[in-house]
Structure formats: structure tokens, C-alpha cells
Amino acid sequence: MTARSCHDLCRRIARRIEALPDRPVRLMEVCGTHTVAIHRAGLRGLLPPRLRLVSGPGCPVCVTPQTYVDALIELAGRPGVRVATYGDMIRVPGRSTTLERAMARGARVSVVYSIMEALSLARQAPAEQVVFAGVGFETTAPATAVGLKLAADERLANFTVLSAHKLIIPAMTALLESGDLAIDGFLCPGHVSVIIGADAYKPLAARFARPCVVAGFEAEEILRAIDLLVAQLADGRAEVENAYARVVTADGNRRAWALIEETFEPADTPWRGLGTIPGSGLAIRAELAHLDAARRFGLEITAREDDHGCRCGEVIRGAIEPPECPLFARTCTPANPVGPCMVSREGNCQACYKYSRAL
Amino acid sequence: MTDGNGNDTILLAHGGGGELSDRLVREEILSRFPSRELARLADSAVIDFPGSRLALTTDGYVVRPLFFRGGDIGRLCVAGTVNDLLMSGATPLALSLGVIVRDGFPMGDFRRILDSVAATAAEAGVQIVTGDTKTVGHNAADGIFLTTAGVGVVPEGRRLDYAAAQPGDAVLVSGTLGDHGIAIMSERQQLGFTSAIASDAAPLVEPVAALLAAAPATRCLKDPTRGGLAAALNEIARASGCSIILEESQVPVREAVAGACDLLGLDVLNVANEGKCVAIVPPDQAEAALAALRSTRYGREAARVGRVEAGKPLVVGVNDLGGRRLIEMPYGEQLPRIC
Amino acid sequence: MCLAVPGKLIERDGHSGTVDVRGNRVQARLDVVPDVRLGDYVLVHAGFAISVLSDDEAAEALDLLDDPDEAMPHDGPLMP
């Protein structure tokens, strides 16, 4: 990354924006890791004020429904059950508490970096039921798929997965189909695209006439992708471009997809703050039902949420700004978040909450 | 502590050195113990005494694993206590050592830890002058815990105070950040990575003496332990009522530490250090202070990383693109993330 | 939504390998990159290598450092 090329990119983006009709240009970074990278590099302050970067639904932890968190907490409190989870889930609030607070009361929770460690926990403690919290988008689902296949091959009797895996294309489609999406283009997730391939966005770009550019995570890579998006808007184009070609191919990783398809099938799935989105989740296939924690423990993850009045859906769609939500800074705060935009440290609402107080 | 839902227990994160620790101390501790000296929340208390000013500090050590690359719980307890005294401007004199150990703890490990305490105390030039040993049942404690108290004397005329930071002051760090935290995480097996990074645990007697000799007008010192540099700078900003601008590209970080932070999704500014200090120094003494730090064994990689500015009591990071971000007080213990 | 870091595959044992990430040694499964070879650069996410970076791709990464005004494929009518 060089400062000079970044400044050149920022200047060129500014020139392109000036030449566009005088209204806000809204680009959605679909991916939560992009949100973090944009925040860390302070990119918003380097770009023209008329260019708005809106954080999308791509933080798998933030969009995990409260009922799912509640189910993990309930499982971890059952005698002889241990929940193994990525560290990301530990502080995500369910309806009344978090896994972290439940641990303080004796719930058995292990933080792991990989599903392989969850399998090791199960092998080491045959008397304990280990439930792995399967969260994440297409990037992470292949790891869970491998874990399920290993558990099946080894006939591990004390290992299950509670799947909350999600798919990004159905979520983007649902946002676009809602009709009131004030987003001019998409900065597409780099590492999801490693698995699904850049071509996966083509139907969206064509059907909804929105430019899509796959981006890497360095400041310069993000700026380059924004520049490509703004150039498309100037030209009136709506195409898919790949600005992360050193990592992302047109087709994606077919082997990873095959593993996902062997172990999972698409399912209608609830998203925190967004409701149930058709075909947007991955449920464990019937052949592997014995490895499905929802079936083994009789759990149902429903869309019903105690999020009366939460307007995260509209915030994500760019239809309203966070302070326009009646819960914002009143019942919904970073310490007690209601919707996904307040759960994430860099989410639209939490960022707005902190900056309005701090700066 | 309550989360608004009536959930009242201590969390591991309360010990993480971040926002939760800070709230626990302010809401539960300070409210019960009315002391102006305690309320400063400095690394040591400084007690005015006829003829001298006495610095007093206390600390508990619960690190796991007990032995790690670059140190062990024994070296950590001496370095941590001595450094807390040094940060108050005191010359360390003597330490106490309390040991709580469980039934069945290997005698070999016990000896190894005490030998390390002795070696580190000798290095720092302090004596262990009193102590206590308690044994507890198998289920009452996990292994061994150490507690210390440390006393030192603050020389006449020296007053180090976070509140003394002023606009224009330079912010220095005595070396690379994140080494201790990453060394500890790489030894925890379930994270699936190993690293050659060693903990920086060390008593900072020599670099602090050199710094204070070269820059006698130093406003304050702080060791960025739990919560890392982010927590240390936020505490100084809050106490002084000034903004701190951190030039992120100037912060010294080892390549492997940066790589491990990328891998685990951590911000190196939140990762713990056990042999580093932050110094707030008036601008006309900053270069001399830096040169003095760099002349010492534990200060060779010292760097000038920022400045104090008038403004809200916040820490703002500036990168070499000119991008700015708010550097927050970390929430609690750092957890590995996948997203 | 997904952190992934590049590193070099330095050991392989069936479906698993050791990846050097800037001086750290990381255990990674190789299930979804079956054709990976020792010395290849891979992208690691949650303990899994999810793609192999080819030499061409590495060269392209270096191209990023070039002047964007020369490297840009889409200079529209807005450019001065």
C-alpha cells in the first residue's frame, strides 16, 4: 500500500462523484470485515462527503438471531453438554444474556479457532456432548462441512453442529427485492467470493441494475473497488468486476461448494433484525441428521424476536439513518443491543452511537 | 455489575483491563474506599511521609500457562510489581510475595517459579523481604497464584501524574508492542498456532532511570499491560482531559506479532505488554528521552508514536494515508475471531 | 465477514499442513485445496486453507503498488 496511490485514488473518486448528479451516492460494503477495514483505515474521512458507505448484512455473528444465541446458552447449561464456538459469538446478546455471562454462571463453553479443535474436544471427552456453533457465510461453511464428514466417518457419538450458516446472495437478493433499497452499488465480499466466485453476482447486477465489484481488504484495494463502482455509475453500467483477482476467481472454489452440497441443503432462515429470508441458510442434510444438534436436542430456531420496533432492516437498506429508529440510544445501546447494527462494534448504529458522543 | 437485565456476576472480562475492568473499579471499588490517592488510579499510590514520599503497589498474578516463551509467572510478578513502582516515579526498594498453591502442585514447578522470582528480583535490584504461603484443596484453585506488594521511594521534586499531560507533549513507547499477549496466546493449544515470539516480561529499572535522567520534566509513565496501548492512552487522555493523537505507522510491532494479530483478528493496540512503558514528555525533551531509552537493553526499539493535543479526552489514530479513527478503550479480554 | 490471511505451506501431512504466516506456524486443513503443493501461498480461514494463490496472482498483487492512473482499465469520460 502506498499513500500516494491511495491519495490519487481518493482524488479520482472525488472527481467522478462531482460529475454525478447532485445527490448522495450510497455504496454498500456487504462484508463486515470490509466495514472493520474501512473503519481502521479511516477511509470515510478521506472520501467525499457525498459518497456514503453503508454497512450491509455481512457480519454473520451480528445477523445470527437471538433465538440461536439463546439455544446455545441453554445447551451449554445442560448437564454433560459443552458448546464450542468461535470467539466472535461470545458477546453477542440473546434475549436476556450472552454466552460470556452464562459462562460466569458455570455454563460450559470453549472458544476455538477452528472446528478441528471442537472435534478434538469431543474425542478427548467421550462422556461429554460437544455442540459446535456453526456460524458464518460461504467462507466458513466448508470448514463445518469437513467437520461433519469427519465426525460421520469416525462415528463420533458425542459431536453435533447447531447450524446458523448463511448464504450471501439470497440476502442481497432479498434486500434488493424489498424495493426501497437506496443503494447505488455493492462492494462485494472478498473471502466469500473465494468460495462462490465473482460470477455469482452476475444475476444480481443484471436483474437489479446495480454495479458489483469484488474487493480485497487493504485500504488501497478497497479504494480501487470504490473507484471502479463510481466509474460504472458515471458510465451508466451495472457489471460485475473483480478487483481482488489475486485471490478470487470467476468460478470460485468448486471443491468447497461440493462439500457444502454434500452436507447441507438450503433452508429458509431467520436473520436478526431482517426477518426470515427464503433459501438464505444452510441446514444439515437428513443423511447427517444424527449430527444435527437441533434434532438431537429438540431445538427450533425461529424468527420470533423480542425486537419490537427495531428498524435495522431499514438502516441496512439505507432507507433511514440510525437516529431515526425509535430504539436508537434509548432501549438499544452497545451494552444492550437489539438489532445487528448495534451488535457489531463497527455496525451502522454502534458507530453512529459512539461517534455522536465522542467526536 | 449489572447489564440492565438483572444479571449480576463477575465475568472474566472484568479482569481484562478494558472498559469492564474500568467500570468495576470505578463503580464497586472507588465508591467504597474514599481516598484521593486511590482515586488517581495510578500504578502505585504515593504517600507523603515526613522526610520522604513512599510509593506502594499491590498486584495478583494468575497467568496461564505458568511457563511460556520469554518468562513465567515468577518473572512476571516481579517485573509487574517493579514496573508499577517505576511508573509512579519511585525507586523500587522491596517486595512482598504471597503464594497460593493447590494440593498436588509439582514441587519441581514450585522451585522453578521461586528461582525465577529470585533471579528477576536480583536483576531489578530489589529484595523479597516478606512473604506468605497458603495451600488450598485440589478444587479450590487451579495450580498456583502469586500476589505481591511493592514499596519504593519517590525522589524529592518528582511528580508523575497522568493528569499532567499537556497539549504539545510527545508520546513515546519503550519498544515493540504485543509481544507478551501473542506469546501467551501462541502457547494456548486450542488456537492452533505456534510462534517464536517471546514475552517481553522485564523489569524496566534501567530504561526508566535513563529516561528520567534525560527528561526530568517527564509528565507521566504508564505500563501498557492488560488492555494494551489503547487502554493506557485512554486512561491518560481521560485523566488529563486532552486528546492523544497516535501515529499508527510509527508504532513498533514485530512482523510475527502483526501476522498473529491478523490471523486471530486482534488489534495489536489492545494486546498486553509486560516489559514496556509509555512516556509523556514535553516536546523539548522528547529527543533526549528517546535517545536515552534507546541506549538501554529493554529500550532499544523505543519510538516516538504520537502527541498530546487540546480537545476531547479521546485517543485518535492517524495512519499514513491521513485516515483517522477513534481508538477505544478495549472492552475486556481479547478473543480470537474469524470475522 | 471473514478474516483470512495468506501464508506459505511449509509442511504437509495428508489433509493437513503447516502454514507460515509471517513467522508464525499455523495448522491448516487442506481439504478444499487438494492440489496445493509445498511452497505455495494459501489463504487461511478458521484453520482451513480456502484458496491457493498462484504466481500470476502474486505478481498481480505487486501490480497494486503501481500508479493507479496507469493501471486503471476503466477511465470513463469523467477523467480530466
Residue C78 in contact with partner chain A when CB distance is under 8 A: yes
- C-alpha cell, B198: 517471546
Higher pLDDT, A39 or B311: B311
The terminus-to-terminus CA distance of chain B in angstroms comes to 29
pLDDT band at C58 (very low <50, low <70, confident <90, very high): low
Q: For residue A77, how far is the Cα from the chain centroid?
A: 27
pLDDT tens digits, B147-169 = 999 999 999 889 999 999 999 99
Q: For residue A40, give the chain B residue with the closest CA.
A: B325
Percent of the residues in chain A that have a pLDDT greater than 70, as a whole number: 97
Q: For residue A23, how far is the Cα from the chain centroid?
A: 28
Neighbours of B308 (CB within 10 A): 25
DSSP state letters, B86-132: HHTTPEEEEEEEEEEEETT--HHHHHHHHHHHHHHHHHHT-EEEEEE
The full set of domain ranges for chain A reads 22-307, 312-358
Q: For residue B336, give the chain C residue with the closest CA.
A: C46
Is residue B267 scored above 50 in pLDDT?
yes
Instruction: Write down which chains contact chain A via at least 3 CB pairs under 8 A.
Output: B, C
Is residue A357 scored above 70 in pLDDT?
no
**Residue A135, amino acid:** V
pLDDT tens digits, A286-305 = 999 999 999 999 998 876 65
ipTM: 0.91
Instruction: In whole angstroms, give the CA distance from residue A53 to residue A187.
Output: 9
Backbone phi and psi for residue C12, each to the nearest 5 degrees, phi listed first: -140, 135
Backbone phi and psi for residue B16, each to the nearest 5 degrees, phi listed first: -85, -5
Question: How high is the pLDDT of residue A315?
Answer: 83
What CATH number has the domain spanning A22-307?
Answer: 3.40.50.11740
Task: Specify the pairing of strand B144-154 against strand B91-102.
Answer: antiparallel
Instruction: In whole angstroms, give the CA distance from residue A40 to residue B319.
Output: 9
pLDDT band at C73 (very low <50, low <70, confident <90, very high): very low
Lowest mean pLDDT among A70-74, B274-278, B313-317, B327-331: B327-331
Asked if A139's CB is within 8 angstroms of C1's CB, the reply is yes
- C-alpha cell, A152: 460421520
Q: How far apart, in Å, are the Cα atoms of A143 and each of A129, A138, A177?
A: 20, 10, 31
Higher pLDDT, C65 or A165: A165
Tell me which residue in A19, A221, A256 faces C64 most closely, judged by beta carbons: A221
Is residue B206 scored above 50 in pLDDT?
yes
Higher pLDDT, B43 or B285: B285
pLDDT tens digits, A128-141 = 999 999 999 999 99
Instruction: In whole angstroms, give the CA distance from residue A139 to residue A145.
Output: 11
pLDDT band at C75 (very low <50, low <70, confident <90, very high): very low
In this prediction, residues B170-185 reach a mean pLDDT of: 97
The full set of domain ranges for chain B reads 35-154, 162-326
The full set of domain ranges for chain C reads 5-65
Question: How high is the pLDDT of residue C57?
Answer: 57
3-state DSSP assignment of residue B214 = helix
Instruction: In whole angstroms, give the CA distance from residue A342 to residue B289.
Output: 43
Question: How high is the pLDDT of residue C1?
Answer: 54
- C-alpha cell, B105: 502442585
Tell me which residue in B11, B328, B339 faces A60 most closely, judged by beta carbons: B339
Task: Specify the pairing of strand B243-247 against strand C5-13.
Answer: unpaired
Instruction: In whole angstroms, give the CA distance from residue A60 to residue A138.
Output: 10
Tell me which residue in A192, A253, A256 faces C1 most closely, judged by beta carbons: A192
Percent of the residues in chain A that have a pLDDT greater than 90, as a whole number: 69
Lowest mean pLDDT among A94-98, A233-237, A284-288: A94-98
Homologous superfamily, domain B162-326: PurM-like C-terminal domain (3.90.650.10)
pLDDT tens digits, A39-50 = 889 999 999 999
Q: How far is the alpha carbon of C78 from chain A, nearest alpha carbon, in Å?
A: 6
Tell me the Ramachandran region of residue A72: left when phi exceeds 0, alpha when psi lies from -120 to 50, beta otherwise.
alpha
Average per-residue pLDDT for chain B = 93
Contacts of B193 in chain A (CB under 8 A): 113
3-state DSSP assignment of residue B252 = coil
**Residue A66, amino acid:** Q
Residue B16 in contact with partner chain A when CB distance is under 8 A: no
Residue A194 in contact with partner chain C when CB distance is under 8 A: yes
Question: How high is the pLDDT of residue A28?
Answer: 94
The terminus-to-terminus CA distance of chain A in angstroms comes to 28
Percent of the residues in chain B that have a pLDDT greater than 90, as a whole number: 80
Residues 234-263 of B with CB under 8 A from C: 255-256, 258-260, 262-263
Question: How high is the pLDDT of residue A179?
Answer: 79
In this prediction, residues B117-122 reach a mean pLDDT of: 98
Question: How high is the pLDDT of residue B4?
Answer: 44
Is residue A233 scored above 90 in pLDDT?
yes
Is residue C79 scored above 60 in pLDDT?
no
Beta pairing partners, C26 = B193, C19
Is residue C76 scored above 80 in pLDDT?
no
Question: How high is the pLDDT of residue A358?
Answer: 64
Residue A40 in contact with partner chain B when CB distance is under 8 A: yes
- C-alpha cell, A43: 477511509
Class of domain B35-154: alpha beta
Task: Specify the pairing of strand A109-111 against strand A81-85.
Answer: parallel
Instruction: In whole angstroms, give the CA distance from residue B77 to residue B30.
Output: 25
Question: How high is the pLDDT of residue B5?
Answer: 46
E-strand ranges in chain A read 25-31, 51-58, 81-85, 109-111, 129-134, 159-163, 185-188, 212-214, 240-242, 264-271, 275-284
Contacts of B260 in chain C (CB under 8 A): 21-22, 24
Is residue A238 scored above 50 in pLDDT?
yes
B35-154 and B162-326 in the same fold: no
Question: How high is the pLDDT of residue B2?
Answer: 43
Residues 40-59 of C with CB under 8 A from A: 43, 45-48, 50-51, 53, 57-58
Is residue A266 scored above 60 in pLDDT?
yes
- Tell me whether the omega of the peptide bond preceding residue B65 falls within 30 degrees of 0, making it cis: yes
Q: How far is the alpha carbon of C24 from chain A, nearest alpha carbon, in Å?
A: 15
pLDDT tens digits, B80-102 = 999 999 999 999 999 999 999 99
**Nearest Cα to Cα of residue A35 among A296, A345, A276, A322:** A345
pLDDT band at C55 (very low <50, low <70, confident <90, very high): low
Sheet of A81-85, strand order: A109-111, A81-85, A129-134, A159-163
**Nearest Cα to Cα of residue A280 among A266, A260, A292, A300:** A266
Is residue C74 scored above 50 in pLDDT?
no
Question: How high is the pLDDT of residue C67?
Answer: 41
Q: Running DSSP on this structure, what letter comes out for residue C79?
A: -
CATH 2.30.30.140, domain C5-65, yes or no? yes
pLDDT band at C65 (very low <50, low <70, confident <90, very high): very low
Asked if C25's CB is within 8 angstroms of B194's CB, the reply is yes
- C-alpha cell, A101: 455471562
Residues 133-192 of A with CB under 8 A from B: 136, 140
3-state DSSP assignment of residue A259 = helix
